[in-house]
Structure formats: C-alpha cells, structure tokens
C-alpha cells in the first residue's frame, strides 16, 4: 500500500501547486490491442499542404510588392517596401509562416496537435489511448485526463503531443539558435543554448513542475523540430546524409524543391527517440514507484508477446542508443532510476 499512499500524497501536493496548468503526457508502456496503422505518409501530406499554403501567402505579397516596384511609382520604391520584400524572401519569413500554420497555439492545442487528435485518418486504427484503469497514470488523474493518444509513423510509435512539440518548441529552438548565432555564438554553442532552454521548460512548466514528468522524448521532438525549420530553405546534415532544402527561391518566389519527395519531409526526424517507453522519462519518486509497479504488472506481458525474440540485452541496447541522435546531444537527462522495458520486464 505504501506506493499508493505516496502517490496520493504526491497528487494532492501537485494539484495544489498548479491548479490551472496541465502537463500533456503519453503512455507507450501500454501497447494497443491491435497494431496501429502507419499514418506517416498522411501526416507528411498534411504538412506538405500547409507548406504550400505558407509559401502561397508569402508569394502573393511578393508579387504585389514586385508589381508595384515595376510600375515605377515613387511610393513603391521606398526603403521600407524594399526591406519588406527582402524579408519575404528570407529564411525567417518562411519559418514564421510555416509555424503559424503548424505550431501556433498552446500545447497540445497547436494547429498540428489538434489535427493529429481529431483527423479521421484513411488507415485504421490510427490512434490508441489506454483505459484509465490500465494507464500508468491511474494514481495521477490530472496526467491521465490530459494524456495524448499513441500513433505510429514510419514504423515508430509515440504520443501525438510530440508533433506539437516538434512544430511549436522546435520553432522556439530555431529562433534561439538563429539569434545566438547572430550574436556571435558558434553553431554548437547556439544548439546548446536552445537545448538548455528546452531542459529548463521540461523541468518546470512543460514537465516536472506540473505533471511530475521530465520527458527525454519531448526534448528530442523539440530538437528535431528545430532541424525541420532549419532545413526549410537550406541543406542540413542528418547523420552522414545531407538533406536538401525543402523550399527554394526561384525567380524571386518560393517553390517546393523538387524532387525532394514527401518521404523526405518528416521521415528523417521520426525515430524511437519519441517513444517514452523506449526513451524513458524521469518521474518524481512517488509517481515513479507506482508506474514501475503498473508496468511490471500490466504492461510487460504485452511487450514480451509483441517482441518474443527480443532479449533484455536487446532492449538495453535500444534504450542506450537513444541517449543521443547521430552522436549529437539533444538534452537527454540520464538517470539510474529509469523505468525501462529491460529493467522492469526481465
């Protein structure tokens, strides 16, 4: 009974501290009763459609300003109009336009997050949310009632809140990085500063302070989102592969960089780093003990049935491989108290 009492005390203290705030968590320890359909291609289609909308809006204004300039009217060839035209053809203008369509809002009620949670996907079942009594948050209702369903993209399962992190916090990382470089920091220093901001928010109002959870998977989603925004108009390195820009300026207007392909739009950023059972979170003590017991009692059987050929060492190696991403530190916080499939189910 001790873990339950501790969890109850933890819940009362937590709710009294943050009555108006909610941490949007996820639960990949509980596997869906039937395999989820892979919705990667349809999500990429949605993102591509929004990219088209973003650059169409920018291009309309570019055309208007350009037409005015070519008319030779004195009020068209002003420093402010020239500055505006230059901005519309910049990386910042594109990133902002894309953010407004995909990342704007409040987690998980970003535009993309809302779409992920409400869209009727062609392939089914597309989402899975474990029942309350089976959930790892059964002793913390505030976390359960704001839990994000699990989805599957490009073979990897994770919570829909990661898409919100990707497009919203990823944009904040992008802005911090860009400002830091402009102030004289190296790329590595700017990345470190962006990641530090993410770790601070995960330790406070996006994680531990309101939900008792510090999510390493959230930090990866933030970092990957930054790369997505950086890759909109310039090449970026993903491991040993150089990914071409998503968009390019052609004759003064923005166009999709063909033939980049829809597969290249999101797939390079989707991995097991987003899965909170494989890339485990840090939980406060009372919550941690209850979750470990729940996973051992209710979840382990499902994992062993789903992956009968995987050994404890296989799961240990997989979790260890998620500490960084292609050798780059994305903010993963290490702990000897993780609740992993390896140390809990074997």
Task: Retrieve residue 19's tokens.
Answer: 């009555």
Residues in a beta bridge with 282: 214
pLDDT 10s digits, 86-128: 999 999 999 999 999 999 987 668 999 999 999 999 999 999 9
SS3 for the chain, per residue? CHHHHHHHHHHHHHHHHCCCCCCCCECCCCCCCCCCCECHHHHHHHHHHHHHHHHHHHHHHHHHHHHHHHCCCCCCCCHHHHHHHHHHCCHHHHHHHHHHHHCCCCCCCCHHHHHHHHCCCCCCCCCECCCHHHCCCCCCHHHHCCCECEEEECCEEEECHHHHHHHCHHHHHHHHHHHHHHCCCCHHHHHHHHHHHHHHHHHCCCCHHHHCEECHHHHHHHHHHHHHHHCCCCCEEECCEEECCCEEEECCEEEECCCCCCHHHHHHHCCHHHCCCCCCCEECHHHHHHHHHHHHHHHHHHHHHHCCCCCHHHHHHHHHHCCCECCECCCCCCCCCCCCHHHHHC
Spell out the domain ranges in the chain. 2-345
Question: Would you say 290 and 139 are in contact if contact means Cβ atoms under 8 Å apart?
Answer: yes
Q: Is the peptide bond before 125 cis (omega within 30 degrees of 0)?
A: yes
The pLDDT of residue 243: 92
Question: How much is the pTM?
Answer: 0.91
Provide the Cα torsion 254, 259, 264, 266; round to 10°.
Answer: 40
Under 8 Å CB-to-CB from 18, ≥6 apart: which residues? 209, 210
Flag residues of the chain having pLDDT under 50: 1, 3-23
């Amino acid at each position: 009974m001790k873990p339950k009492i501790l969890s109850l005390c933890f819940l009362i203290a937590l709710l009294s501290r943050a009555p108006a705030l909610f941490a949007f968590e996820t639960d990949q320890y509980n596997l869906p009763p039937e395999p989820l359909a892979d919705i990667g291609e349809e999500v990429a289609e949605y993102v591509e459609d929004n990219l088209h909308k973003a650059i169409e809006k920018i291009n309309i204004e570019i055309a208007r300003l350009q037409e005015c300039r070519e008319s030779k009217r004195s009020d068209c060839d002003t420093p402010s109009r020239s500055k505006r035209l230059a901005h519309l053809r910049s990386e910042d203008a594109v990133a902002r336009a894309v953010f407004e369509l995909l990342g704007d809002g409040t987690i998980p009620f970003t535009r993309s997050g809302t779409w992920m949670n409400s869209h009727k996907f062609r392939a089914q079942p597309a989402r899975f949310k474990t029942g309350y009594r089976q959930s790892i948050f059964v002793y913390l209702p505030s976390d359960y009632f704001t839990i994000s369903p699990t989805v599957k993209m490009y073979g990897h399962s994770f919570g829909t809140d990661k898409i919100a992190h990707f497009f919203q916090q990823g944009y904040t990382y992008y802005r911090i990085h860009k400002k830091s470089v402009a102030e004289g920091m190296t790329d590595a220093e700017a990345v470190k500063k962006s990641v530090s901001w993410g770790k601070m928010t995960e330790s406070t109002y996006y994680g531990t302070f309101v939900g008792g959870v510090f999510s390493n998977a959230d930090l990866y989603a933030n970092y990957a989102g930054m790369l997505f925004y950086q890759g909109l108009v310039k090449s970026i390195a993903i491991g040993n592969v150089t990914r071409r820009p998503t968009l390019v300026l052609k004759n003064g207007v923005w166009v999709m960089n063909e033939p980049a392909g829809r597969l290249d739009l999101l797939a390079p950023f989707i991995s097991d780093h987003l899965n909170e059972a494989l890339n485990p979170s840090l939980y406060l003590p009372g919550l941690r003990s209850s979750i470990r017991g729940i996973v051992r009692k209710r979840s382990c059987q499902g994992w062993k049935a789903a992956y009968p050929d995987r050994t404890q060492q296989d799961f240990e190696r997989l979790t260890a491989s998620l500490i960084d991403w292609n050798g780059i530190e994305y903010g993963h916080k290490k702990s000897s108290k993780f609740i992993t499939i390896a140390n809990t189910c074997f």
